[in-house]
Amino acid sequence: MLCERCKQNKATVHLTKILNNKKTEIHLCEECARKSEDISFENPFTINNFLAGLLDSVQSSPIKVDYIKTTTCSKCGMSYGKFKELGRLGCSDCYKTFNEKLKPLIKSVHGSQEHTGKVPKKTGSIIRLKREIMNMKKELSRAIDKEEFERAAELRDKIKLLEKDLEINK
C-alpha cells in the first residue's frame, strides 16, 4: 500500500480515528507521518500516558486544577496530579483519598467497580457459594420490596440450603 499523501513511498504508519461513530483511516509513509499534525512521535505509548488519558476521558465533569493541586493522601503524601503523572498510587489509603475520581476509571477499565475475577477451581467452591448466597440475598430483598412473597420464600429456602452446604465445605 502506498502513502496517501506522497503516493511514492510504502505506507508504514496506519492511523485509525473513530470520532462520533465515524471511522477515518490514514495510511502514510514514515516521512509524511512525521510531518503530519495528527500523529506525534514525541510521546511514545506508555501506561502512564494511557491511564492519564483514561482519567481525563471518564470524568463526568472537567477535573478542576484545585483538585489536582490540593488533594493529597494523608498517609503517603501522593497528590492526584502525581498519580496522573506516574499512573500508580502511593499506598492503600490513596484509594480512599481519590475514591471519587478513581471509581469511574476503574469501572471503565474493568467494567465493574467490584472484583469479579476468576476463582481457582480447587479452592473456589467456598467463594462461589458465598457469592451465590450474596446474590440470592439481594434478589430476596428485591422480591420482598416488590411483595413477591412466594418468590421470596423460595429464595429464602435456597439460601438456607446453600448456607448448610457452606458449613459442610468449611
Q: What are phi and psi of 59, to 5 degrees?
A: -70, 135
- State the DSSP code for 78: -
80 to 106, 108, 127, 156: CA distances (angstroms): 15, 19, 35, 45
Q: In 9-146, where do the E strands start and end?
A: 13-19, 22-28
- Ordered per-residue pLDDT tens for the chain, 170 residues: 899 999 999 999 888 888 788 888 889 898 888 887 666 665 556 666 666 666 555 454 444 545 555 788 999 998 887 887 787 888 999 888 888 878 877 777 777 777 666 767 666 778 888 889 999 999 999 999 999 999 999 999 999 999 998 888 76
Question: Are 31 and 6 within 8 A, CB to CB?
Answer: yes
